[in-house]
Amino acid sequence: MDVRQVAWRSLYELLGSRVRRPEWAFMNYGYAPLDPRQETLALGPADEPDRMCIQLYDHVVGDVDLRGADVLEVGCGRGGGSSFLARYRAPRTVTGVDLSRAGIALCRRYRHAPGLSFVQGDALDLPFPDDSFDSVVNVESSHCYPSVETFLAEVHRVLRPGGNLLFADLRGKVAMAELEATLRTSPLEVVDMRDITPNVCTALEVDDDRRRALMDAWIPRPFHRPLERFVAVEGSSTHARFRAGENRYVSARLVKTTTALI
d(CA 144, CA 128): 21
pLDDT of res. 118: 98
| 136: helix, strand or coil | strand
pLDDT of res. 22: 62
Beta-carbon contacts of 170 under 8 Å, excluding residues fewer than 6 positions away, are: 29, 140, 143, 176, 200, 247, 248, 249, 250
Stretches in the chain below the pLDDT threshold 70:
1-23, 222, 259-262
Instruction: Find, among 22, 98, 25, 9, the residue nearest to 57 by Cα.
Output: 25
**Cα Rg for the chain, rounded, in angstroms?**
17
| 78: helix, strand or coil | coil
The H or E element spanning position 184 is helix 173-184
pLDDT of res. 8: 46
DSSP for 190-244, written as a single string = EEEEEE-HHHHHHHHHHTHHHHHHHHHHHS-GGGHHHHHHHHT-TTSHHHHHHHH
pLDDT of res. 259: 53
pLDDT of res. 15: 54
- Half-sphere exposure of residue 137: CA atoms within 13 angstroms, side-chain side: 32
d(CA 164, CA 155): 9
d(CA 216, CA 228): 11
d(CA 88, CA 119): 21
pLDDT of res. 224: 72
User: pLDDT, tens digit, for every residue of 99-117?
Assistant: 999 999 999 999 999 999 9
3-state helix, strand, coil in the chain (%, to 5): 45, 20, 35
